[in-house]
Amino acid sequence: MTICVSCGSTNLEFAGKYLHYGEKFREFFPDLAILSCKQCSLLQVDHSSVDEQKLTDYYRHFYRKEIDFVTLSKSHHALWNERGRALARLAAQHIKPVKVSKIFEVGAGYGYNLMAFQKQFENAQLFTDELASNLPPQSVTQANLEDGPYDIIIMSHVLEHLMYPKEFVLRVARNLRQGGLLVIEVPNEGNGQFVYQEKNGIPFHTGHLTFFSEKVLRLFFHNNFKELCIKQFGTAGPTIATMAKVKMLKRISRRLLGIFPPLLRGAERLFESVIERKIVAALNFSNDTNTFNKIYLRIVLTREDES
């Protein structure tokens, strides 16, 4: 039986088919369903049909190859840096730099966030469990969560990929020092219209197993973690409406290409690059507000004294 990964309810109903655009993912996990929790409204993949070891293998060996839209062009480099700086600034509003000596990022990817945190918290040592970057090896140390406690733990686009997000956050909280900060960013899935749901006209998911909206993310943290206190909750990035416009533009260009393929084939690349530039222009990672109409959700929590 599948139970809700947030509230534990067994009252879940079918909400749609999970369409991952990665061939390898579909091969690993055919016929996954998305379920909606009748109690807390959280949309989630039916994890009773996901083997955790297989999922780990998929992430280790195939994920980066399949998620090909995360290119490391120069413009993306600037954007990821900007995201790192925005998250580091948010953190600095809630903890004094002199009190920060150890920062851990869960799955640091290309290391942009950690580098930005290093500038904000100059005396801190950096740690991660997984680094896929070309950073100078001496700047970040490979470690486990349990090697803490840490003063700051960063989870940027991690929570939505986990089989058991609640259990993982409990583990994170145990390895945060009293008064330490947990900084999280996840996609804002809005009202179930998944932000990243389309590629080449086909709905798709990119490995997200849990789909957070403002309401369900707030409930997730409010109801499940007595030791964590929400300090800040907001949204950032381009608005969902802007991204919908960009998607429409993509659809129109594909339709045109369908009608005049021989004439426009040469222009295909040009179209794509124009759209790509529009997306990059719309992406702003440092515009935190509490309007919740943007594509990222950011939440900062502290571990409270147990006394």
Nearer to Zn ion, 50 or 67 (CB): 50
- Shortest approach of Zn ion to residue 219 CB, angstroms? 8
Angle between helices 214-224 and 165-174 (to 10 degrees): 50
Nearer to Zn ion, 42 or 131 (CB): 42
Angle between helices 74-92 and 112-120 (to 10 degrees): 40
Nearer to Zn ion, 39 or 139 (CB): 39
Nearer to Zn ion, 39 or 284 (CB): 39
> Which x/- pattern, by CB under 5 A, does the window 35-64 give for Zn ion?
--x-xx-x----------------------
- Shortest approach of Zn ion to residue 170 CB, angstroms? 17
Q: Please report whether residue 90 would count as binding Zn ion according to CB under 5 A.
A: no
- Shortest approach of Zn ion to residue 222 CB, angstroms? 13
Stretch that binds Zn ion, among 31-39, 95-103, 243-251, 285-293 (CB under 5 A): 31-39
Nearer to Zn ion, 108 or 299 (CB): 299
- Shortest approach of Zn ion to residue 7 CB, angstroms? 3
One of 7, 169, 181, 184 touching Zn ion (CB under 5 A): 7
Angle between helices 268-282 and 74-92 (to 10 degrees): 20
Burial grade of 160 (CB within 10 A; 0-12, 13-18, 19 or more): buried
Read off the tokens for 52: 């955790």
- Shortest approach of Zn ion to residue 15 CB, angstroms? 13
Nearer to Zn ion, 37 or 176 (CB): 37
Q: Please report whether residue 243 would count as binding Zn ion according to CB under 5 A.
A: no
Nearer to Zn ion, 176 or 186 (CB): 186
Total binding residues toward Zn ion, as defined by CB under 5 A: 8
The answer for residues whose C-beta is within 8 angstroms of residue 119's C-beta and 6 or more apart is: 85, 88
Radius of gyration of the chain measured on its C-alpha atoms: 20
Residues 64 and 132 sit within 8 Å (Cβ to Cβ): yes
Buried b / exposed e along 261-274 (16+ C-beta atoms within 10 A) = eeeeeeeeeebeee
Rounded to whole angstroms, how far apart are CA atoms 37 and 79? Answer: 34
The answer for residues whose C-beta is within 8 angstroms of residue 5's C-beta and 6 or more apart is: 42, 44, 47, 163, 164, 165, 166, 209, 210
Q: Please report whether residue 9 would count as binding Zn ion according to CB under 5 A.
A: yes
Rounded to whole angstroms, how far apart are CA atoms 193 and 189? Answer: 6
For residue 179, the surrounding DSSP H or E stretch is: strand 176-187
Q: Please report whether residue 2 would count as binding Zn ion according to CB under 5 A.
A: no
Rounded to whole angstroms, how far apart are CA atoms 63 and 207? Answer: 8
One of 4, 103, 217, 243 touching Zn ion (CB under 5 A): 4
- Shortest approach of Zn ion to residue 37 CB, angstroms? 3
Nearer to Zn ion, 179 or 192 (CB): 192
Binding residues (CB under 5 A) for Zn ion: these are: 4, 6-7, 9, 37, 39-40, 42
